[in-house]
Amino acid sequence: MNTSSRFAFAVHVLALLSLQGGVPLSSEMIAGSVNTNPALIRRLLAMLSDAGLTTSQLGAGGGALLARRPEQITLLEVYRAVEDAQLFALHREAPNPACMVGRNIQGVLRGVIDEAQQAMEAALVGRTLADATADVVRSEKQRERKRRARADKTAVKTTKEQSRSVRAE
């Protein structure tokens, strides 16, 4: 019962490429950001290339590039490029037909699973790579504001402590 991280890795890779302003990135550089093996990134880039989402530039300074603008790439396209299975799968082996639940559960679940798949795909088709990248940038700015606020509080606290120390002398 494994879950796949290919979709998350693919969005990570594409967001990284979208922030590069057309500068190609090597699989080693991308792997450093994703914190995984460059060979895995190369396999993922091949899948994304087959789907028309990335391209590559050969030679010195070469690497992966987006094949289209981030606004033109839906997250559903990314999902379909790298995932080969539905969101949920039915039993690998047929359940016991002598059991009431075993005889009927796959028919019951098939409709539920199809509905869940459609809802997930509807959510992904409504979001683009540009949306995901903008969210990354927004999160980073918020993180930086919080870091600065903590640094400012520490500086004020240090100044007050120094002021008290000088008065005590």
Domain chopping of the chain, boundaries: 6-85+128-141
* pLDDT at res. 1: 47
Distances (CA, A) of 33 to 27, 98, 140, 142: 10, 51, 15, 20
- Judge whether 95 and 105 are in contact, CB under 8 Å: yes
* pLDDT at res. 92: 84
The gap between the terminal CA atoms of the chain, to the nearest Å, is 68
List of residues 6+ apart from 4 with CB closer than 8 A = 83, 85
Quote the tokens at residue 143: 């993180």
Q: In what helix (H) or strand (E) does residue 56 lie, and over which residues does it extend?
A: strand 54-57
Q: Pairing mode, if any, of strands 63-66 and 54-57?
A: antiparallel
Would you identify the CATH topology of the domain 6-85+128-141? Arc Repressor Mutant, subunit A (1.10.10)
- Judge whether 19 and 138 are in contact, CB under 8 Å: no
* pLDDT at res. 161: 65
Distance CA 161, CA 164 (A): 5
Listed as ranges, residues in the chain with pLDDT below 70 are 1-3, 158-169
